[in-house]
């Protein structure tokens, strides 16, 4: 009791100027709560600690939310896009982006102002506002499409009334809505990253874990193979292999070929990362205990080593997604990847370079902004996951 009274007096003198008076019972209660909190933290699992650290990184959480939004919009692209990728408005070529006005005569009724085409002295097409209003209809019928590629429907989230299109990002040289084409192009650009990462994930995980676990001649062969692949410059090799794709192949065949080509050069980084981790884990007590218990190598690899390195696998896969998307964009931009009538971000950027004067119609280059935002979101998410993998560091 004497020590308790002495400690109470010290606390009183320390916090008197800040918090007024300190109640001994409240102080002890705070200590109990803090002790329980510390017990929860130190008794938490590795995954829970990773999650706690990840959600404190607001930039990484924002990047992850933005990526989820990208994939949600891509999955239901036909619904969110007011028009299809091939819908043309021949009277509204190079239409500038339109601003949406929410209220009409004091009532909530969104609309855009109509444009009328005219030509200047150099015979360049320009538009002027006419003052007429084109109202926006929500959850209405429009151009037919297949939802998720399976269910035929024609319901769109919004469509403009009449012949005047509602084009939030303007139209291109053929009068196609840029907003719709960016949304529909994301379906290929984002999924090709998933397919390529999934394929490289399998190769990198299996070869990396095998290399670190077995060592010896197995490690030598795999490491020399990695060095051989990494010795070739990526872009020239991608160009050479992509140029070998026959022009007569369908969009689906070309899509699959591009995914395979990208995955063949992306698994080496993951394999190197996992090899280093497995070299440190293979001599741990839990591995030795499994061997003494008679467990086979396959059991140890897939039930112990792969789960132990799962955090690193997730981080490397997340950081590999931007490079996959950029690779597809670069190949399509160079004319060696996907080609029209396929619609992807790379194809849209490749088409924008054919305009005579990009300065006159800058909105045709908006797909590049979508690529930049997506890459930044993946980078922020990957950095946050990389920090959260080691939750015991500050």
Give me the chain's average pLDDT, please: 79
Q: State mean pLDDT over 341-353.
A: 82
Using CA atoms, how far apart are residues 311 and 260, in angstroms rounded to an integer? 25
Reduce the DSSP state of residue 30 to 3 states and report it. Answer: helix
Residues 6 or more apart from 104 whose CB is under 8 A from it?
A: 110, 111, 133, 135
Q: Is the dihedral of CA 148, 150, 151, 156 positive or negative?
A: positive
Give the sheet arrangement for strand 107-119, strand by strand: 101-104, 107-119, 125-147, 151-160
7-16, 137-146, 163-172, 231-240 — which is least confidently predicted? 7-16
pLDDT > 60? residue 33: no
Q: Which of 373, 321, 379, 371 is nearest to 350 (CA)?
A: 371
Residue with the bigger pLDDT between 37 and 133: it is 133
Q: Which two tokens stand for residue 376?
A: 């930044």
Average pLDDT over residues 361-377: 88
Mean pLDDT of all residues in 88-103: 85
Domain ranges of the chain: 66-71+182-389, 87-176
Q: What is the pLDDT of residue 28?
A: 43
Tell me the average pLDDT across 81-100: 86
CB atoms within 10 A of CB 221: 12
Under the banding of pLDDT at 50, 70 and 90, the label for residue 258 is: confident
CA–CA gap between residue 356 and residue 394 (Å, rounded): 53
For the ranges 13-27, 130-144, 172-186, 322-336, which has the lowest average pLDDT?
13-27
Q: Which residues of 372-391 are buried (b: 16+ CB within 10 A; e: fewer)?
A: eebbebbbbbbbbbbbbbeb
DSSP codes, 31-54: HHHHHHHHHHHHTS-HHHHHHHHH
Say if residue 392's pLDDT is above 80.
no
User: What CATH number should be reported for the domain whose range is 66-71+182-389?
Assistant: 1.10.3720.10
The whole-angstrom separation of Cα 324 and Cα 262 is 7
- Output the pTM of the full model: 0.77
Report the percentage of the chain scoring pLDDT > 70.
85
């Amino acid at each position: 009791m004497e020590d308790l009274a002495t400690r109470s007096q010290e606390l009183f003198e320390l916090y008197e100027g800040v918090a007024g008076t300190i109640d001994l019972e409240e102080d002890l209660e705070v200590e109990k709560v803090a002790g329980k909190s510390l017990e929860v933290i130190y008794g938490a699992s590795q995954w829970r600690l990773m999650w706690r650290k990840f959600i404190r990184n607001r930039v990484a959480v924002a990047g992850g939310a933005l990526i989820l939004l990208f994939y949600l919009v891509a999955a239901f692209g036909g619904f969110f896009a007011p028009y299809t990728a091939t819908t043309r408005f021949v009277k509204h070529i190079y239409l500038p982006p339109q601003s949406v006005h929410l209220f009409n005569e004091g009532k909530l009724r969104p609309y855009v102002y109509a444009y009328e085409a005219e030509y200047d002295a150099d015979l360049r097409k320009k538009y002027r506002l006419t003052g007429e209003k084109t109202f926006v209809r929500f959850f209405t019928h429009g151009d037919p499409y297949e939802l998720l590629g399976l269910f035929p429907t024609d319901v769109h989230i919004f469509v403009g009334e009449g012949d005047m299109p509602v084009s939030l990002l303007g139209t291109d040289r053929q009068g196609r809505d840029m907003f719709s084409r960016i949304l529909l192009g994301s379906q290929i650009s984002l999924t090709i990253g998933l397919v390529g990462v999934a394929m490289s994930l399998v190769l990198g995980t299996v070869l990396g874990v095998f290399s670190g676990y077995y060592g010896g001649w197995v490690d030598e062969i795999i490491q020399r193979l990695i060095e051989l692949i990494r010795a070739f410059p990526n872009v020239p090799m991608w160009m050479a292999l992509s140029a070998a794709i026959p022009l007569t192949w369908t969009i689906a065949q070309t899509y699959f070929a591009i995914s395979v080509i990208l995955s063949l050069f992306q698994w080496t980084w993951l394999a190197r990362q996992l090899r280093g981790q497995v070299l440190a884990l293979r001599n741990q007590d839990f591995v030795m205990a499994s061997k003494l218990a008679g467990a086979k190598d396959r059991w140890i690899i897939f039930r112990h080593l792969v789960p132990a390195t799962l955090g690193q696998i997730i981080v490397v896969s997340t950081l590999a997604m931007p490079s996959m998307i950029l690779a597809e964009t670069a190949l399509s931009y160079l004319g060696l990847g996907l080609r029209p009538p396929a619609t992807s971000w790379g194809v849209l950027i490749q088409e924008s370079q054919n305009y005579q004067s990009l300065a006159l119609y800058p909105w045709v280059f908006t797909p590049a902004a979508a690529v930049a935002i997506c890459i930044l979101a993946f980078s922020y998410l990957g950095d946050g996951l990389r920090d959260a993998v080691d939750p015991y560091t500050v």
